[in-house]
Amino acid sequence: MAMTKAASAAAKDFAAAGVGGVHLAWADNNGIPRSRVVPIAGLADAATRGVGATSLFAVFDSRDAITYGHAGLATPSGDIRLVPVVDRLRRLAGQPALAWAPVRQLTKDGEPWPYCQRAVLERQVAEGTRRGLEFRAGYELEFAVAPAGSTDVVTTPGHPGPAYSPHALVGLDGFVAALLHDFAANGLRIGQLHAEYGVAQLELSLAATDPVSAADDQLLARQTIHAAARAHGLAVSFAPLVGLGAAGNGWHLHTSVRRKGRNLLDGAENTPEGDGAGYLAGLLRDLPALTAITAPSVPSTLRLRPGYFAGAYAFWGVENREAPLRYVPGTPLLGADHANVELKTSDASANPYLALAVVLAAGMAGIEDAPALPEPIGEDPGGWTDGERETRGVRRLPADTAEQDAALLASPRIAGVLGDELLGAFRAVRASDAAWAADHTADEIVAAHLWRY
Ligand code: GLU
Ligand code: MG
């Protein structure tokens, strides 16, 4: 009831300001944002009863093929309700006639739908609360720009470099200014923005917040970036890879965990201790299974090559940019609050809610079980011999869909986070993507995913 009242009040204000409709948005199992637009006059009703959508979105693959490949979702019949989360409602600065809100996916009876990814994350956050733990999370977004209408980024780069150079951004001045303005106006805090290392690549990092907001923010950030790009004659690619020889687009996921306000990841001597060490060791223990959720697409597996700062081997390091788990310590200058773990094997083809849910679950299990944390590695194990990697216990992360699937099933701790229904749908979608990819070259695979996210 309170929600309906809040929605009515917001709808009235928005309508008076010229907002005609609201994108009710979520991300599917491919990390692809989907939405329904309701007229602003319909917002209060949508907040109470939801709007209808097919249950088949859970089995859409990365190219919009409906797989029907999962027992619960094997026919064209079935409907769910999309209910906007009204306290996350925002007018879109870059699309001022529209607003945006993330949705909960409910059954027709108003119950949580087992395939709702946001609900999966909410469950993990609630589990944390039960254990006296509180999390903070923030995504970094890397993406490539090209002139609007480009079929490709590599042959028509939207900036000439050099990497990290202010000069690279001069030609994108209007776009950069719009990003800074629109992010602030949409309630998204940016830590920093720069020209990144890859072809026509940019990066911006979102400030850390609670996990569900961090995932909501990541979706809203995409909408914000796409709209600003469009208004400035540009197209952006969030795809994990824009060219086989190019640096990938990582969407690194930073997390930290607190008990009674103390950041457990803060430790002396550049290493986490006690429960902080348990959290990191938990992430490392389940890293192959985590990566099956956090970098799940065929282009994801192409991105995870050694030597590209993307994470190819399972290990952790202190500020080691080649490490899939990069421990970032607190310092006297930055304070204990700064300490966090960055997961690099994460990208836009992950559902942002599911990615965070499995990371929190792995970390909580690590705090519970305290598996031994090996010594950090400061080098790139990709440059070692097989024998050296063997001696140091460093294994390659799953390198294709079949290996990812096996890794996921090998960790009931991680697979169980999704629940049987969602796990079945998620695996069906991955299998459909892999079957398509088997008949296509790596270049064709990259091209097919370039503008999907
Ligand atoms: N572009 C790299 C990736 O694929 C990350 C580079 C960096 O360390 O920021 O994740
Ligand atoms: Mg980067």
Token pair, residue 213, equals 């907001």
| Residue ID of nearest Cα to ligand 1 atom 6 | 309
The rounded distance, in Å, linking the Cα atoms of 429 and 67 is: 7
As a whole number of angstroms, the distance between CA 252 and CA 263 comes to 20
Helix (H, G, I), strand (E, B) or coil at 236: strand
Distance 363 CA to ligand 2 centre (A): 23
Same domain, 63 and 196: no
Six-digit token pair at 228?
């600003």
Which of the listed residues 113, 142, 162 is the one where a domain comes to its end?
113
Query: Could you tell me what percent of the chain has a pLDDT over 70?
Result: 99
We report the CATH number of the domain holding residue 200 as 3.30.590.10
Whether residue 268 is predicted with pLDDT greater than 90 in this model: the reply is: no
Ligand 1 in reach of 88 Cβ (< 6 A) = no
| Ligand of minimum distance to the alpha carbon of 250 | 1
Check: CB of residue 83 under 8 Å from CB of residue 116.
Answer: no
Q: Are residues 145 and 86 in the same domain?
A: no
Looking at 298-378, list the stretches that DSSP marks H as alpha helix, in order from N- to C-terminal side.
298-303, 352-369
| Shared domain check, 100 and 28 | yes
Does position 184 have pLDDT exceeding 70, yes or no? yes
Q: Which ligand is nearest to the CA of 196?
A: 2
Q: Are residues 130 and 258 in the same domain?
A: yes
Query: What is the count of structural domains for the chain?
Result: 2
**Cα-based angle 53, 54, 56 (whole degrees, multiple of 5):** 140
Q: Which atom of ligand 1 is nearest to the CA of 247?
A: 1
pLDDT digit string, tens, across residues 405-445? 999 999 999 999 999 999 999 999 999 999 999 999 999 99
Ligand 1 atom closest to the CA of 347, numbered from 1: 10
Residue of the nearest CA to atom 9 in ligand 1? 309
Question: Would residue 225 count as lying in a domain?
Answer: yes
**What ligand 1 atom has the least distance to the C-alpha of 344?**
10
Q: Is 309 in the pocket of ligand 1 (CB under 6 A)?
A: yes
Ligand 1 atom, smallest distance to 311 CA: 10
Q: Are residues 156 and 86 in the same domain?
A: no
Query: Ligand 1 centroid vs 238 CA: distance in angstroms?
Result: 13
Q: Same structural domain for residues 79 and 154? A: no
Contacts of residue 65, defined as CB under 8 A and 6 or more positions apart, other chains included, come to 432, 436
Same domain, 320 and 339: yes
For residue 244, is it within any domain? Answer: yes
Closest CA to 118 of 88, 93, 142, 91: 88
Rounded to whole angstroms, the maximal C-alpha distance in the chain is 68
Boundary of a domain, candidates 113, 147, 169: 113
Query: Is the Cβ atom of 398 under 6 angstroms away from ligand 1?
Result: no
Do 56 and 73 touch, CB atoms closer than 8 A?
yes
Query: Would you say residue 89 lies in a domain?
Result: yes
CA angle 86, 192, 22 (to 5 degrees): 20
Q: Is residue 118 one of the residues assigned to a domain?
A: no
Instruction: Mark whether 229 and 282 lie in a shared domain.
Output: yes
Q: Which atom of ligand 1 is nearest to the CA of 142?
A: 1
**Atom 7, ligand 1: which residue's CA is nearest?**
309
257 pLDDT tier (thresholds 50, 70, 90): very high
Tokens representing 35 are 């939405």
Alpha helix positions (H), 379-441: 386-392, 401-409, 412-438
Q: What is the CATH number of the domain that holds 89?
A: 3.10.20.70
Percent with pLDDT over 90 in the chain: 97
222 and 344 belong to one structural domain: yes
What residue spans of 74-210 are helical by DSSP H? 117-130, 166-170, 173-185
Q: How far is the CA of 257 from the centre of ligand 2 (A)?
A: 23
Nearest to 401 by CA among 141, 77, 61: 61
Segments forming the whole domain that contains residue 261:
124-449
Indicate the average pLDDT of the chain. 97
**Is 80 exceeded by the pLDDT of residue 3?**
no
The model carries a pTM of 0.98
Instruction: Please report which confidence band the pLDDT of residue 1 belongs to, taking 50, 70 and 90 as the band edges.
Output: low
DSSP code for 86: G
List, in sequence order, every residue forming a beta bridge with 101; answer none if it has no partner. 24
Å from CA of 250 to ligand 2 middle: 7
Residue 350 lies in a domain: yes
Residue 205, pLDDT above cutoff 90: yes
Tell me: do 285 and 347 sit in the same domain: yes
In Å, how far from its chain's centre is CA 133?
Answer: 22
* Domain annotation covers residue 164: yes
Is the minimum distance from the CB of 140 to ligand 1 under 6 angstroms?
A: no
Last residue of a domain, one of 113, 132, 162: 113
List beta partners, residue 328.
340
Residues 10, 154, single domain; the answer is no
Name the pLDDT band for 378 (thresholds 50, 70, 90).
very high
Q: Give the Cα separation of 425 and 404 in Å (integer).
A: 15
User: Is the Cβ atom of 310 under 6 angstroms away from ligand 1?
Assistant: yes
Residue pair 414/426 in contact (Cβ under 8 Å)? The answer is no
Residue 251 near ligand 1, beta carbon < 6 Å: no
CA–CA separation, 345 vs 363, rounded Å? Answer: 16
Asked whether residue 119 is assigned to any structural domain, the reply reads no
* Contact by Cβ (8 Å): 281, 315: no
Per the domain annotation, does 203 fall within a domain?
yes
Would you say the CB of residue 353 lies under 6 angstroms from ligand 1? no
Residue 248 Cβ contacting ligand 1 at under 6 Å = yes
| Protein residue closest via CA to atom 5 of ligand 1 | 309
Q: 134 and 109 share a domain? A: no
Cross-strand pairs, 341: 255, 327
* Residue 180 bridge partners (DSSP): none
196-220: average pLDDT? 98
For residues 294-313, give the mean pLDDT.
97
- The answer to whether the CB of 247 is under 6 A from ligand 1 is yes
Among 196, 301, 304, name the best residue to mutate to test ligand 1's pocket (greatest count of ligand atoms within 8 A of Cβ). 196
